[in-house]
Amino acid sequence: MNVLHLQSGELTGGAARGTYWLHSALREIGVDSHLMISGRDARGDDSVTALADSQAKRVDYALRNRIGNFPTRLYTKRQQSIFNTGLAGINFTRTSAYRAADVIHLHWINGLVAMRSLRRLDKPIVWTMRDMWPLTGGCHYAIDCDRYGIGCGHCPQLASKSRWDLSRAIVKAKNATIPSGLQVIGISDWLSECARRSEVFRGHQTRTISNNIDTRLFSPLPIQVARQALNLPADKKVILVGAQRLTDFYKGFDRFLQALSQANSRSMHIVTFGRSAQAAMEGVDLPKTHLGFLSDAVSLRLAYAAADVFVAPSLMDAFGKTLAESMACGTPVVCFDATGPKDIVAHKETGYRARPYEPGDLAAGIDWVLRQDTEGAECLRQQSRKRAVDHFDSRVIARQYKTLYEEMLGSTAGEQS
């Protein structure tokens, strides 16, 4: 069984790391897996093809993306959030990797796979949705808009007042190009349900297979060892919060700041990581440390292991990989009981799920975790680690995908017969 994964960008991105860990785990359990990325660094892995391995190719991809997303510039009052048309990409069906593959597995494909190229595919296709873009008219998170269920139009992120706007045209293009036999995968039950309600995927086969993490990379460390390595105080309650870009509008950082004002702040030390986190915390009058942008597993593991609790205040997340990573390191999580994160945290077993989207209950969750005695805190840590290993480890998820591939290939063989 030969599987080709398609993932846009570098392997340092959040979605790309999940794709790479899945690809590696599939190879570990005997699947002939190959990964094609539009980035420059294959990490010396012969099973990974990095298409932008020269300056000329990197310029070419950048131009393709700029041209492909040019129509968004016509909406001068649009929100400055990520929005993709699906026009940019290459014809990957000309590659030897495509010809050799039995199954094509799409992940986060913007800039690598143009939607129109899906018409050419003559192999079984799996599409793992790593955010909402596959089912919307261009946005990656719809927030409080549900127009993806009626084909979009009047797009709030484009500040459009027209039913026949760019978002509706993108939905029409997706409907015209997505093959009927496509298998849709949501990385959370919430995302799968969004897909079933969408105009794009209504009628397609949809199932949930959780996102995955490498629980060998993310594993517990003695808390004092981690704090010493990061120069954090040994006698404080450390609250960790972080994301690639903590101030993205759907990450709910304003709810976290409101929760801090209501939590029992005595003996607290706030630790943040991610782009723009330091500036976002400037007005907070509490002891704090900013770790910068963390992209490697070693630094992230230290950060998780040093904390008493990881707070993830997202308003909307397809899954919430940082939550699973934190739990794998034995650190309980406080989140809202909504969207992807509610599938990850077991309430009062591996953390606390607060009522959406109440800062007061988020504060109550933080206090609940920090009030645990030594025995209770240790139980939370052990249960967090166990749940991450049992449900989200890459090898566990790889076996689920292997079963899916076998089902699809068996079905295809039966149809041909």
**The domain spanning residue 227 has which CATH number?**
3.40.50.2000
Same-domain pairing of 411 and 304: no
217 located within any domain: no
* Structure confidence at residue 264 (pLDDT): 82
Output the six-digit token pair for 172. 């029409």
Under-50 pLDDT residues of the chain: 414, 417
**401 shares a domain with 369:** no
Residue 410 and residue 298 in one domain: no
Q: Residue 297's CB: how many other CB atoms inside 10 A?
A: 16
Q: Is the pTM of this model over 0.85?
A: yes
Residues 247 and 144 occupy one common structural domain = no
Is 206 in the same domain as 351?
Answer: no
Does residue 74 fall inside a structural domain?
A: yes
Residues 318 and 366 in one domain: yes
Determine the Cα–Cα distance for residues 132 and 317; give it in Å rounded to an integer: 9
pLDDT on residue 212: 98
Looking at the fold, whether 186 and 277 belong to one and the same domain comes out as: no
pLDDT at 417: 41
Can you give the three-state secondary structure of the chain, one letter per residue?
A: CEEEEEECCCCCCHHHHHHHHHHHHHHHCCCEEEEEECCCCCCCCCCEEECCCCHHHHHHHHHHHHHHCHHHHHCCCCCCCCECCCCCCECHHHCHHHHHCCEEEECCCCCCECHHHHHHCCCCEEEEECCCHHHCCCECCCCCCCHHHHCCCCCCCCCCCCCCCHHHHHHHHHHHHCCCCCEEEECCHHHHHHHHHCCCCCCCEEEECCCCECCCCCCCCCHHHHHHHHCCCCCCEEEEEEEEECCCCCCCHHHHHHHHHHCCCCCEEEEEEEECHHHHCCCCCCCEEECCCCCCHHHHHHHHHHCCEEEECCCCCCCCHHHHHHHHCCCCEEEECCCHHHHCCCECCCEEEECCCCHHHHHHHHHHHHCCCHHHHHHHHHHHHHHHHHHHEHHHHHHHHHHHHHHHHHHHHHHHC
Beta-bridge partner residues of 207: 185
Residue 60, in any domain of the structure? yes
Q: Identify whether residues 54 and 171 lie together within a single domain.
A: yes
> Which amino acid belongs to residue 280?
A
Q: Are 400 and 386 members of one domain?
A: no
Residues 190, 237: one domain? no
What is the CB-side half-sphere exposure of residue 207 using CA atoms within 13 A?
A: 9
| Structural domain count of the chain | 2
What is the predicted pLDDT for the residue at 258? 94
pLDDT of residue 246: 83
pLDDT digits (tens, 9 = 90+) for 206-253: 999 999 999 999 999 999 999 999 999 999 999 999 988 888 888 999
CA distance 350 to 382: 8
Q: Is residue 218 part of a domain?
A: no
Does 247 share its domain with 284?
yes
The residue segments making up the domain with residue 100 are: 2-212+394-416
- Shared-domain flag, residues 84 and 229: no
pLDDT of residue 275: 84
* Residue pair 129/110 in contact by the 8 Å Cβ criterion: no
